[in-house]
């Protein structure tokens, strides 16, 4: 037993080579995995920093993605308390994605019912200047779970109201009972009149009133027939009225003829006036002629006075 | 009156059992420290040891690698499928990838690899060492002026550790690829988003815990079975099953490491 041989080495070279191969394989695998994980965590990316300010950091964790249209474009690198009691998220944005964010970009933090929170970026105007490195922005917080307590309270109140509404002594139940009594009455011998009038005497009164109304209507009918005869009959008002209208028509025609005559007279008068105007013009001519004649007479008398010197008196007495 | 001597005897037995327990664990820690020191000192790697080391490393890894790869791929495929389909039915498919990576790569594969290597490599190695001790080969080596710890134990332990690390590395990579193919199909379009999801899982703390866990798994698997048989008295080894005892110790240590890693990852 003591001198049992040590197991002889089998094709050492080959095995050593294979062992080295295995070692190299392990080293390559581990190194590749390490590089891959570092790459996956963004160790080789050129980044710029963005600071988001919020009131609280609930649901946000280091390494969380910030998405833009569903694509991750940044990682939360640090979360720190701000001086005023708020929170600052320091976010690394790879430089190749940075142009997506502009100075007018909006950042939101939404908390869903299931799963974690989401940091999202929205860019309304892509032509705005790009966000500078280290820019600080406010983050808008939308919280789906915050609505739940209010919703539950509202629903509870609604249920309470509904319960009161449908309770045994509620108004709705009483109304329904009344409605049932009414329909029972409707089905009864007095029908709807009974429902409306309450007791039988009243409904009888109503029926008698209806009967009398019927009789009254019959009388009114007769009166209407008579009135018809008086108004539209042969000796009625209407034919007379028609005759009166015809007479009026004739009188109007006469009046029209008279007016035409007056028109003619007026035309004549106009003609007379015209003649008078012409006569007036002639009168003017006449007057001019008389003027001329008078001047001639005056000239003649002057000549006479010169030829007859014994008469010093240059006075002429017109006839 | 007769209870006093019997309780004394019981107390003495309990005391000796406790001492044995402590001694057993101390021996494991001691051997582990010794072998680690030997492994880190370059003088250990003389030509003969290098040859043994190469042989042991190759024998401990190459035959089990393929089988383990097939086995872990099958299990991975089934688990990936279950997780993805379940997550889809709950409308949580965006979280399924992270869950797959966490469940498979971080937790299941290292544990499975450690257990696989323990059963296929470490226990047979321990049996070999025990057989060598029984057949007095160690004594013969000592007579030749060779340290059996350096010549026979160190290569086997290194081989066990290497085997665990190798299996974990290969099958983690394979299951990451399988997860990608199962979720996205045969396309390169989703590599960026997949890389991002993987990056989310492997935060520095998680990577550190994963590396430490795998290292301690490999150390436990390589050390405990061999240490259990290396220090047992020869007669005791013949009488009781030291292999079984080693296996129990190994499982409890693996359980402790796994629990510690879970606490580290999720608390």
Domain ranges, ordered by start, for chain A: 47-148
pLDDT of residue A36: 93
Do A74 and A94 contact (CB within 8 A), yes or no? yes
| A37 shares contact with chain B (CB less than 8 Å) | yes
pLDDT of residue B267: 82
Give the CA distances from residue A224 to residues A218, A221, A232, A239, in Å, rounded to whole numbers and listed in that order.
10, 5, 12, 19
- Over residues B154-169, mean pLDDT: 93
Q: CA of B202: which chain A residue's CA is closest? A: A37
Give the CA distances from residue A202 to residues A214, A239, A286, A302, B195, in Å, rounded to whole numbers and listed in that order.
18, 50, 110, 131, 92
CA of B220 to nearest chain A CA: how many angstroms apart? 20
pLDDT at B138 over 70: yes
| A41 shares contact with chain B (CB less than 8 Å) | yes
Contact A65 B196 (CB under 8 A): yes
Share of chain B above pLDDT 90, in %: 33
Contact A22 B58 (CB under 8 A): yes
pLDDT at A5 over 50: no
Interval A31-69: pLDDT, tens: 999 999 999 888 888 888 889 888 888 888 888 888 888
- Over residues B189-215, mean pLDDT: 90
| A106 shares contact with chain B (CB less than 8 Å) | no
pLDDT at A297 over 50: yes
What residue spans define the domains of chain B? 3-266
- Over residues A291-302, mean pLDDT: 92
| A9 shares contact with chain B (CB less than 8 Å) | yes
pLDDT of residue A228: 87
Any idea which of A94-98, A124-128, A220-224, B54-58 has the lowest mean pLDDT?
A: A124-128
- When CB atoms are compared, the residue of B62, B169, B196 closest to A29 is B169
Do B173 and B221 contact (CB within 8 A), yes or no? no
pLDDT of residue A3: 43
3-state helix, strand, coil in chain B (%, to 5): 90, 0, 10
How far is Cα A70 from Cα A100, in angstroms, rounded to an integer?
13
| B125 shares contact with chain A (CB less than 8 Å) | no
pLDDT at B109 over 80: yes
Confidence tier at A259 by pLDDT (50, 70, 90): very high
């Amino acid at each position: 037993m003591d001198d049992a041989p040590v197991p002889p080495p089998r094709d050492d070279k080959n095995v050593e080579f294979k062992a080295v191969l295995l070692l190299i394989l392990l080293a390559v695998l581990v190194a590749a995995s390490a590089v891959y994980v570092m790459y996956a965590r963004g160790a080789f990316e050129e980044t710029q920093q963005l600071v988001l300010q919020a009131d609280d950091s609930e649901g946000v964790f280091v390494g969380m993605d910030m998405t833009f249209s569903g694509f991750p474009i940044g990682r939360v690198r640090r979360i720190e308390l701000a001086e005023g009691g708020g929170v600052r998220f320091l976010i690394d944005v790879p430089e190749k994605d940075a142009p997506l964010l502009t100075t007018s970009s909006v950042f939101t933090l939404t908390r869903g019912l299931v799963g974690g929170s989401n940091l999202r970026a929205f860019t309304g105007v892509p032509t705005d200047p790009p966000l500078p490195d280290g820019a600080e922005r406010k983050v808008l917080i939308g919280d789906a779970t915050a609505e739940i307590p209010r919703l539950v309270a509202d629903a509870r109140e609604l249920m309470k109201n509904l319960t009161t509404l449908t309770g045994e002594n509620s108004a709705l139940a009483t109304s329904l009972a009344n409605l049932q009594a009414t329909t029972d009455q409707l089905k009864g011998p007095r029908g709807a009149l009974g429902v409306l009038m309450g007791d039988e005497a009243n409904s009888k009164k109503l029926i008698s009133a209806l009967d009398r109304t019927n009789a009254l209507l019959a009388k009114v009918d007769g009166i209407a027939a008579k009135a018809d005869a008086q108004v539209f009959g042969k000796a009625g008002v209407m034919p007379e009225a028609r005759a009166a209208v015809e007479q009026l028509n004739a009188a109007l025609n006469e009046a029209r003829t008279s007016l035409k005559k007056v028109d003619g007279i007026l035309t004549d008068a106009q003609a007379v006036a015209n003649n008078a105007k012409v006569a007036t013009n002639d009168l003017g001519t006449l007057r001019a002629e008389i003027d001329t004649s008078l001047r001639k007479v005056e000239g003649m008398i002057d000549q006479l006075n010169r030829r007859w010197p014994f008469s010093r008196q240059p006075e002429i007495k017109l006839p | 009156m007769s209870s006093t001597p019997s309780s004394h005897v019981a107390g003495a037995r309990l005391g000796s059992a406790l001492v044995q327990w402590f001694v057993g664990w101390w021996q494991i820690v001691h051997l582990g420290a010794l072998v680690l020191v030997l492994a880190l000192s370059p003088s250990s790697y003389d030509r003969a040891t290098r040859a043994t080391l190469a042989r042991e490393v190759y024998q401990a890894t190459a035959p089990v690698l393929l089988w383990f790869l097939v086995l872990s791929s099958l299990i991975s495929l089934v688990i990936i499928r279950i997780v993805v389909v379940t997550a889809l039915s709950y409308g949580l498919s965006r979280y399924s990838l992270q869950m797959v990576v966490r469940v498979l790569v971080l937790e299941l594969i290292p544990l499975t690899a450690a257990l696989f290597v323990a059963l296929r490599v470490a226990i047979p190695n321990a049996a070999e060492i025990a057989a060598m001790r029984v057949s007095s080969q160690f004594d013969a080596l000592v007579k030749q002026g060779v340290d059996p710890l350096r010549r026979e134990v160190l290569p086997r332990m290194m081989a066990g550790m290497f085997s665990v690390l190798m299996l974990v590395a290969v099958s983690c990579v394979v299951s990451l690829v399988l997860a990608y193919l199962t979720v996205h199909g045969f396309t390169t379009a989703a590599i960026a988003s997949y890389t991002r999801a993987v990056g989310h899982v492997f935060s520095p703390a998680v990577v550190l815990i994963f590396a430490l866990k795998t290292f301690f798994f490999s150390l436990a698997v390589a050390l405990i079975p061999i240490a259990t048989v290396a220090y047992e008295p020869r007669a005791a080894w013949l009488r009781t099953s030291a292999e079984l005892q080693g296996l129990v110790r190994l499982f409890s240590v693996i359980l402790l490491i796994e629990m510690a890693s879970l606490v580290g990852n999720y608390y």
